[in-house]
Copies of this chain bind each other. A is one copy, B any other.
Amino acid sequence: MLADDMLGQGREGTDLAQYVAAFDAMRAEGGNLLIVGELAGDVVATYQLTFISGLSLKATRRAQIESVRIAAPFRGRGLGAAMFADAEARARAAGCGLLQLTTNRARERAQSFYEGLGYTPSHIGFKKPL
């Protein structure tokens, strides 16, 4: 799903070892979850949820979503909204008072989707390769 994506198709690889190593690293970090959605035994959706404590906003703990993907044949069926409901429930259970994410400006449909779920596009997301 990461590779079968408008932006991901040019930037993912076929060497699985690096992904397995990252999966182990996520597990070791704690509070860094990879959630998959199954339908009749097939993995059809995935997202990453990370809990980050911090001092800002009266020491509000944040939950952050990355890498939201739905398998192409299963888009438009409400799986995205179901994933976000799941993420919000997990974030509340972990004591988070804020859910945050960034989306590439090129993902125009994603932007209206997030606004429809009550997310405010208040910030600009900057990235720099190291």
Contacts and interface: CB of A to CB of B under 8 A. Distances in A.
A2 B104 CA distance: 28
Interface of A: 2, 8, 11-13, 15, 18-19, 21-23, 25-26, 29-32, 34, 48, 50-59, 61, 63-64, 66-67, 88, 91-92, 96-105, 111, 114-115, 117-130
A104 B100 CA distance: 12
A67 to B, nearest CB: 5
13 contacts: A2-B56, A18-B58, A32-B52, A63-B130, A88-B130, A98-B128, A102-B125, A119-B126, A119-B128, A120-B126, A120-B128, A123-B125, A123-B126
Given A124-B125, A126-B101, A126-B123, A54 B58 contact: no
Contact of A66 (B19, B56, B111): B56
Contact of A52 (B15, B18, B29): B29
B34 A130 contact: no
